[in-house]
Amino acid sequence: MDINHPRASINILPTRPLYKWANIFNRLQRNFFSEDLKLRREKQIEDFIRLNGFSRVAVIKDTDILQSIESLNCHPSQAEIIVITDQKFSRYPCPALIDQIKHMMTKCSRLYLCLNKHYINIDNSFHDLKLDSNFNIAIGQWLRKNLEGCMVLDLSLDFVDYGQSFTWAVPDRHFYIAHD
């Protein structure tokens, strides 16, 4: 082929982000299906809130989920629990992510944290060879190791995510973190 002979004049565009559906991604994905669906992970969070009687909840999210607990929403400093599903939270470098969790825990002593495992250690700056070879187990170990004085309960499923599990609506790793 001859790049010097395009059929029209061209304009080389610097590569830019083209993804633009983050705010409505859950709805878009669920519309693929004919049945009336609920994501198991979303229900897990909502039921955790309801069954444990939380009435003031700070929800930090980036897409259209968890509508059923919207009425409980309040400022983090007034909340009984903070729920984080925002994908961006998983994109902190590992040490900064730990700092952010600690910061949240100064506002509220209970945290329901959802992390997208595909973003963990996004900048490849952190390595701990003492962690388990199973990545799912390693994430929990890493959190416990760095959150002294906190109880970290892993509420996730142990599975390999082959892109079939709605992780960009609700992240896959779920942790309940509370002060000891």
Partner 1 sequence: MTKIIEFFNQSSIKDDWKTQYIRYRLGRLKHQFWLWNRKRKDNLLVDEYDYFILKNCQPGITAFFASAGYYLKDIWPEIISIDLHPVVKTFYPDALICNHRTQLPELLPDGVDNFAVVNNRGDIWTEIENVTEHCRYYTRVMRPGCRFFYSFRDTQIVNFNRLTTDMESYFLNWAKSLNTIGLDLVWYNIDFARKIPDKNGYYDMLENPDTVNGNLKFFFVYHGDAWKVI
Options 52-60, 68-76, 116-124, 147-155: segment touching partner 1 (CB under 8 A): 116-124
Nearer to partner 1, 54 or 119 (CB): 119
Smallest separation, CB 126 to partner 1 (Å): 7
Q: Which of 116, 105, 117 is nearest to 147 (CA)?
A: 105
Nearer to partner 1, 24 or 153 (CB): 24
Structure tokens at 30: 């669920």
Report how many residues bind partner 1 under the rule CB under 8 A. Answer: 66
Options 30-38, 49-57, 63-71, 77-85: segment touching partner 1 (CB under 8 A): 30-38
Question: Do residues 156 and 136 lie in contact, with contact meaning Cβ atoms separated by under 8 Å?
Answer: yes
> Roughly how many angstroms between the first and final C-alpha of the chain, as a whole number?
66
Torsion of CA 120, 48, 100, 79, to 10 degrees: 160
Question: Do residues 65 and 39 lie in contact, with contact meaning Cβ atoms separated by under 8 Å?
Answer: yes
Structure tokens at 153: 């309960």
Smallest separation, CB 79 to partner 1 (Å): 22
For residue 58, give the 3-state DSSP assignment.
Answer: strand
Smallest separation, CB 52 to partner 1 (Å): 19
Let me know if 16 is exposed, middle or buried by CB neighbors in 10 A (0-12, 13-18, 19+).
exposed
Structure tokens at 4: 């010097």
User: Which residue in the set 27, 50, 75, 88 belongs to the binding site for partner 1 (CB under 8 A)?
Assistant: 88
Nearer to partner 1, 32 or 180 (CB): 32
Structure tokens at 114: 């959802």
Smallest separation, CB 131 to partner 1 (Å): 5
Smallest separation, CB 88 to partner 1 (Å): 4
Options 14-22, 50-58, 67-75, 76-84: segment touching partner 1 (CB under 8 A): 14-22
Binding site for partner 1 (CB under 8 A): 1-3, 5-19, 21, 28, 31-41, 43, 88, 91-94, 96, 117-129, 131, 133-135, 138-139, 142, 157, 160-166
